[in-house]
Structure 1
Amino acid sequence: MRPAVRAAVADDLPALVALDEVCFGSGAWGEVAWADEFERLSEDRVVLVADEDSVVAGYVVLLLPPVVEDVVEVLRIAVAPAERRTGVGGQLLTIALGRCAGRTVLLEVAAGNESAIGLYAGFGFEEISRRRGYYAGGEDAVIMRWREEQ
């Protein structure tokens, strides 16, 4: 059974912080940054969680227009290690992209994260540029773009 995808609520904060630390280590946002995200939730800033029996299996954070008129940014997407390759990431991405009708979607991913790059490419994302040495340790960030008309 697949998890239900729903809007995040304040009670999810500890689970989101913990999952972020597991997935991003030293690049994790931390409790203060997550609390700030919750303060800024609106139609323009969305956090969706994949909830499986009251356990957060994954999440996606979207920044929607009008910040930039026709561009949506995927600020963060993560799936719990035990839930990877089970369809949770694809489920989150499908629902997130469903909110992006007629818009361009941008995201960045570590160049060495081949499984995530493969997932995004499977949804029609294309590499458009790189930020050389962007991540700790000098790893490149791959900037990817999705357009609905693809």
Structure 2
Amino acid sequence: MRPAIRAARSDDQAELVALDELCFGPAAWSTGAWADEFDRLSEDRVVLVADEGALVGYVVLLLPQVALDVVEVLRIAVTPAERRTGIGGQLLTAALARCAGRTVLLEVAASNESAIGLYRGFGFEEISRRSGYYGGGEDAVIMRWRETV
């Protein structure tokens, strides 16, 4: 059964915090950071979740500001048990559907080959690197997606 992809609701916040901790460990966003994301929903944030009765993934988008046409994927995660089942692709498909006519940027750890492969499969291309961006000196790969007609 494929999970339902839907907009996050305020009652998802605690589950999102736990999911983020599971997926990112020490690099997880704090409860306060998630509260800030929820405070900004529909203003300049979109949070989509993959729901199978429990949340198994999410994606956070930063929407374009005035006069800019760029969306940023701030965070995307799928529980370790559900990785490589297509949920990340479902989340990315739903996110990109909201980005018609816009450029989408994201950054990913250079060592995260599975994520880079997923993004390339969706047409993202590497445009830059941030040397030593992540803890431990790991590079961030900056990727861009542009809708093709």
**Alignment TM-score, normalising by the size of structure 1:** 0.95
Equivalent position of 2:51 in the other structure:
51
- Residue 96 (structure 2) pairs with residue 110 (structure 1): no
- Secondary structure at the counterpart of residue 134 of structure 1: strand
Q: Report matched runs for 1:65-144 at 5 Å.
A: 65-67=64-66, 69-144=68-143
Unpaired runs of 5+ residues, structure 2, are none
Out of 86-95 and 68-77, give the one that drifted further: 68-77
2: distance between equivalents of 1:86 and 1:93?
Answer: 13
- Secondary structure at the counterpart of residue 42 of structure 2: coil
Runs of 4+ in 1 over 6 A off after TM superposition: none
Equivalent position of 1:31 in the other structure:
31
Instruction: Give the number of aligned pairs.
Output: 149
Out of 12-21 and 122-131, give the one that drifted further: 12-21
Instruction: Report deviation, 1:68.
Output: 5.8
- Secondary structure at the counterpart of residue 123 of structure 2: coil
1: distance between equivalents of 2:126 and 2:144?
Answer: 6
- Secondary structure at the counterpart of residue 93 of structure 1: helix
- Secondary structure at the counterpart of residue 97 of structure 1: helix
Deviations 1:11-42 (A, max 9, x none): 11111111111111111111010011101111
**Residues 1:131 and 1:12: Cα distance change in structure 2 (over 3 Å):** same
Identity of aligned residues (%): 80
**Alignment TM-score, normalising by the size of structure 2:** 0.96
**Residues 1:120 and 1:58: Cα distance change in structure 2 (over 3 Å):** same
- Residue 22 (structure 2) pairs with residue 15 (structure 1): no
1: distance between equivalents of 2:21 and 2:67?
Answer: 29
Letter in 2 for 1:44: D
Unpaired runs of 5+ residues, structure 1, are none
